[in-house]
């Protein structure tokens, strides 16, 4: 679930993380174990086996204590600076952050009982106020190192916003507060640094991070890739279908786009090139598959857990809602590849080169068993806090009992180190992004902005949707997906909801459009990572990724206009829209690739090829777009119009194929 530092040019100047000495590695390992034990104790209400129960704020500050100071050790002040040693100023920052966090834990009960966040000047001691200001600065610096300058400037500005809110022009005007009041609210309340992002991390994300890392270090990646080769490798375009299948499975567990590309891509991209795919195409396919994986249940990425906190619903509801859009996206990828391979007369890999399904399942059956357990715990038993811990425990036991890759001391240490680095990155980012939520909560500006946005859009939900898509895409270029989502969940989502759209569909829409930048130039981090593995031109790879993953631009519009596609409606309505969406996707892919299953190559249409392809894409969009609601036509009218557009095109294509066959 680690997130790429989107849009930070400094990343090219040197490594973002340090090579730690044995001493600092030991500190990282010990504090990582402590953070895992803290979370385990809290989730299972163990009370440290001595009857001690932590307040939520004590628990959250405990995680900050063991993880946030490490940001100054793991991340240098500038990428590449002091890459192999920790300078004295970073040690000082580490000790200062540790000391303040200890003080905040020690005074958490006094703070909660005395209402320090609301009456800082009279209730809190002066040293506590200066400590709050210092922690505010430390959180921003940790955010800068882990998340980049873009996040730092945005969150720094908005965290200071309450100080000068009264001087801002409408609609940003609000009552100002002084420095101490702002610092007290940011640090002592449960709405800012310890707000929704950190709460999501502390309650659910950390467990799923451990599960994803356990999968990685027990060889799940190799299992998923072998299974994909066994199932899909021999079909036309089989190597590309393997990339889609394996990246979808592994990425939905790890929740990280870039690491997924670099992990599975090293095997799938060379296989695609070997079977006839051009290098940019191979890199683009892997990029699209890895991007879609973060939008696919059961695990998804950290953003989904934050979404559940925002909406105050179980994570299982978010995972279920994400299932149908994910199916549509991956179905689109499969059809794109199948039609592309058909047009170019590609063949699959040789059967004798492929592993057998029976052998793959026999060697890695326990991965399937553990994932089934996770799904049952999440969706059936509704134990989302327990699910990753129980699944991880079972995975480690089965791995030691049945796997050829049993862990030794080295694997255990690597597992802890891998978790620790991801924990540190996410805590630094989520604590910093929480400052934005706190600033708007303190000033009460969210309601004002909602009213103004509705006024600007003239209460037109369609215009708000377009504004939301563009804003999500632009912010997604320069911010991590979680930060982008939180920013818009605070500023834009209330307006869309007040305009009459479904809350879950709105939040999912924002998350989807924030992910679009991963495959869209000029940023296209996933496509560029795929290009580096494929040794292809990055921009060309990004353009191919846009084409292959084009349905990702439309799916969020479909479900925000009619939330039945995120399971927010009756079964009959869902079944109808899902069926027409599948038909529409087949037609869109046929038009884009110039090939139609059961008909053949659309080049046989001669000079009518492009009119036929355009008609198929247009008709496919009409089939896939849900009618009713905000749409001017009903579902039946949309379907009738789609049939009227596509039937003549299909008739021309079929007739051309028949004439070619006769000749």
What is the model's pLDDT at position 459?
A: 65
Measured distance CA(518)–CA(247) in Å, rounded: 15
What is the model's pLDDT at position 120?
A: 64
382 SS3 class: coil
Domain that holds residue 585: 570-663
Measured distance CA(326)–CA(568) in Å, rounded: 16
What is the model's pLDDT at position 541?
A: 93
Q: Is the pLDDT of residue 526 over 70?
A: yes
What is the model's pLDDT at position 11?
A: 40
Q: Is the pLDDT of residue 451 over 80?
A: no
Q: Is the pLDDT of residue 560 over 80?
A: yes
pLDDT single digits (tens) 602-621: 999 999 999 999 999 999 99
Region 105-109: mean pLDDT is 93
HSE of 111, CA atoms in CB hemisphere, 13 A: 24
Q: Is the pLDDT of residue 630 over 80?
A: no
Domain count, the chain: 2
Region 277-304: mean pLDDT is 87
Is the separation of the CB atoms in 249 and 232 below 8 Å? no
Measured distance CA(557)–CA(466) in Å, rounded: 9
Q: Is the pLDDT of residue 8 over 70?
A: no
Region 186-208: mean pLDDT is 91
Q: Which residues pair with 600 in a beta bridge?
A: 596
Q: Quick one: what percent of the chain has pLDDT higher than 90?
A: 46
Q: Is the pLDDT of residue 255 over 70?
A: no
pLDDT single digits (tens) 402-422: 888 889 999 999 999 999 999
Residue 481 or 423, more confident: 423
pLDDT single digits (tens) 69-89: 999 999 999 988 888 899 999
The DSSP secondary-structure symbol of 377 reads I
DSSP secondary structure string for all residues of 314-326:
-HHHHHHHHHHHH
Region 50-78: mean pLDDT is 94
What is the model's pLDDT at position 131?
A: 94
What confidence tier does 134 reach under pLDDT thresholds 50, 70, 90?
A: very high
Measured distance CA(161)–CA(164) in Å, rounded: 6
29 occurs within a structural domain: yes
Measured distance CA(589)–CA(340) in Å, rounded: 9
Q: How many helices (H) and strands (E) does the chain have?
A: 31, 2
What is the model's pLDDT at position 260?
A: 80
pLDDT single digits (tens) 15-42: 789 999 999 999 999 999 999 999 999 9
Instruction: Please state, rounded to an integer, the average pLDDT across all residues of the chain.
Output: 87
Tell me which of 119, 149, 181 is where a domain ends: 181
Cis peptide before 582 (omega within 30 of 0): no
Q: The whole model's pTM is what?
A: 0.86
227 occurs within a structural domain: no
Is the separation of the CB atoms in 105 and 61 below 8 Å? yes
Residue 538 or 3, more confident: 538
What is the model's pLDDT at position 346?
A: 85
Region 147-165: mean pLDDT is 91
- Cα angle 527, 276, 583 (rounded to 5 degrees) comes to 70
What is the model's pLDDT at position 58?
A: 95
Tell me which of 181, 198, 225 is where a domain ends: 181
663 occurs within a structural domain: yes
Measured distance CA(270)–CA(8) in Å, rounded: 29
Measured distance CA(484)–CA(563) in Å, rounded: 22
Q: Is the pLDDT of residue 13 over 50?
A: no
What is the model's pLDDT at position 6?
A: 41
Contacts of 567 (CB under 8 A, 6+ apart): 320, 321, 323, 324, 574
Is the separation of the CB atoms in 249 and 228 below 8 Å? yes
What is the model's pLDDT at position 9?
A: 33
Is the separation of the CB atoms in 511 and 307 below 8 Å? yes
- Cα angle 580, 586, 588 (rounded to 5 degrees) comes to 100
Instruction: Mark out the alpha helices in 562-634 (DSSP H runs).
Output: 571-593, 609-624
What is the model's pLDDT at position 641?
A: 94
Q: At what angle do helices 387-402 and 357-375 cross, to 10 degrees?
A: 150
Cα–Cα distances (Å) from 511 to 48, 485, 560, in that order, read 37, 6, 12
Region 454-483: mean pLDDT is 76
Q: Is the pLDDT of residue 478 over 70?
A: no
Tell me which of 181, 203, 234 is where a domain ends: 181
Measured distance CA(581)–CA(585) in Å, rounded: 6
Q: What is the 3-state secondary structure (H, E, C) of 572-585?
A: HHHHHHHHHHHHHH
Taken in order 581, 247, 279, 350, is the CA torsion positive or negative? Answer: negative
What confidence tier does 114 reach under pLDDT thresholds 50, 70, 90?
A: confident
640 occurs within a structural domain: yes
Q: Is the pLDDT of residue 661 over 80?
A: no
Q: Which of 106-115, 273-282, 456-465 has the lowest mean pLDDT?
A: 456-465
Measured distance CA(569)–CA(513) in Å, rounded: 23
Q: Is the pLDDT of residue 163 over 90?
A: yes
Region 545-571: mean pLDDT is 88
592 occurs within a structural domain: yes
pLDDT single digits (tens) 210-233: 998 898 889 888 888 888 888 888
- φ, ψ of residue 360 to 5 degrees: the values are -65, -45
Q: Which of 109-123, 324-338, 521-535, 636-650 has the lowest mean pLDDT?
A: 109-123
69 occurs within a structural domain: yes
Residue 438 or 257, more confident: 438
Cα–Cα distances (Å) from 288 to 162, 235, 247, 281, in that order, read 40, 20, 9, 11
279 occurs within a structural domain: no
What is the model's pLDDT at position 238?
A: 86
113 occurs within a structural domain: yes
């Amino acid at each position: 679930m680690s997130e790429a530092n989107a849009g930070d040019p400094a990343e090219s100047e040197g490594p973002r993380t340090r090579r730690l000495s044995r001493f600092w590695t030991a500190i990282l390992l010990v504090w990582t174990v402590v953070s895992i034990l803290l979370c385990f104790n809290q989730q299972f209400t163990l009370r440290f086996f001595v009857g001690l129960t932590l307040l939520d704020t004590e628990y959250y500050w405990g995680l900050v204590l063991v993880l946030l100071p490490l940001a100054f050790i793991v991340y240098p002040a500038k990428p590449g600076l002091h890459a192999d040693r920790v300078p004295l100023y970073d040690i000082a920052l580490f000790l200062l952050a540790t000391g303040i966090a200890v003080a905040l834990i020690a005074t958490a009960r006094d703070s909660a009982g005395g209402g320090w966040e609301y009456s800082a000047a009279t209730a809190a001691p002066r040293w506590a106020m200066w400590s709050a200001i210092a922690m505010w600065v430390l959180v921003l610096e940790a955010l800068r190192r882990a998340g980049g300058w873009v996040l730092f400037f945005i969150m720094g500005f908005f965290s200071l916003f309450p100080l000068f809110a009264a001087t801002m022009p409408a609609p940003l005007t609000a009552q100002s507060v002084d420095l101490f009041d702002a610092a007290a609210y940011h640090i002592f309340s449960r709405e800012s640094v310890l707000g929704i992002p950190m709460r999501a991390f502390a309650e659910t994300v950390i467990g799923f991070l451990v599960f994803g890392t356990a999968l990685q270090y027990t060889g799940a990646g190799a299992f998923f890739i072998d299974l994909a080769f066994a199932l899909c490798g021999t079909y036309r375009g089989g190597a590309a279908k393997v990339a889609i299948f394996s990246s979808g499975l592994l990425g939905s567990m790890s929740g990280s786009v870039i690491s997924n590309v670099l992990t599975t891509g090293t095997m799938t991209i060379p296989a695609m090139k070997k079977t006839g795919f051009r290098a940019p195409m191979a890199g683009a396919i892997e990029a699209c598959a890895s991007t879609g994986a973060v939008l696919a249940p059961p695990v998804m990425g950290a953003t989904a857990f934050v979404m559940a906190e925002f909406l105050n619903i179980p994570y299982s509801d978010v995972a279920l809602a994400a299932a149908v859009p994910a199916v549509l996206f991956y179905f689109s990828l499969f059809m794109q590849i199948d039609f592309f391979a058909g047009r170019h007369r590609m063949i699959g890999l040789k059967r004798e080169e492929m592993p057998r399904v029976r052998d793959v399942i026999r060697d890695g059956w326990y991965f399937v068993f553990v994932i089934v357990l996770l799904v049952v715990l999440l969706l059936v038993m509704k134990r989302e806090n327990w699910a990753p811990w129980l699944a991880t425990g079972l995975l480690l036991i089965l791995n030691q009992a049945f796997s050829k890759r049993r862990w030794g001391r080295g694997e255990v240490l690597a597992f802890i180190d891998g978790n620790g680095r991801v924990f540190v990155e996410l805590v630094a980012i989520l604590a910093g992004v929480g400052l934005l939520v706190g600033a708007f909560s303190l000033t009460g500006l969210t309601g004002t902005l909602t009213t103004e946005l509705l006024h600007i859009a003239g209460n037109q939900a369609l215009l708000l949707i377009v504004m939301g898509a563009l804003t999500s895409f632009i912010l997604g270029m320069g911010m991590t997906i979680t930060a982008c989502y939180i920013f818009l969940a605070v500023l834009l989502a209330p307006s869309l909801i007040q305009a009459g759209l479904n809350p879950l569909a709105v939040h999912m829409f924002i998350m989807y459009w924030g992910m679009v930048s991963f495959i869209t130039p000029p940023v296209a981090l996933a496509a560029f990572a795929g290009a580096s593995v494929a040794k292809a031109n990055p921009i060309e790879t990004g353009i191919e990724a846009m084409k292959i993953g084009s349905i990702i631009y439309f799916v969020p519009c479909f479900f925000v206009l009619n939330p039945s596609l995120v399971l927010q409606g009756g079964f009959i309505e869902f079944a109808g829209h899902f069926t027409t969406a599948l038909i529409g996707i087949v037609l869109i892919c046929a038009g884009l690739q110039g090939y139609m299953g059961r008909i053949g190559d659309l080049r046989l249409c001669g000079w009518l090829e492009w009119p036929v392809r355009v008609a198929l894409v247009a008709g496919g969009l009409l089939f896939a777009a849900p009618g009713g609601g905000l749409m001017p036509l009903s579902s039946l009218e949309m379907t009738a119009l789609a049939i009227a557009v596509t039937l003549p095109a299909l008739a021309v294509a079929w007739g051309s194929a028949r004439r070619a066959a006769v000749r």
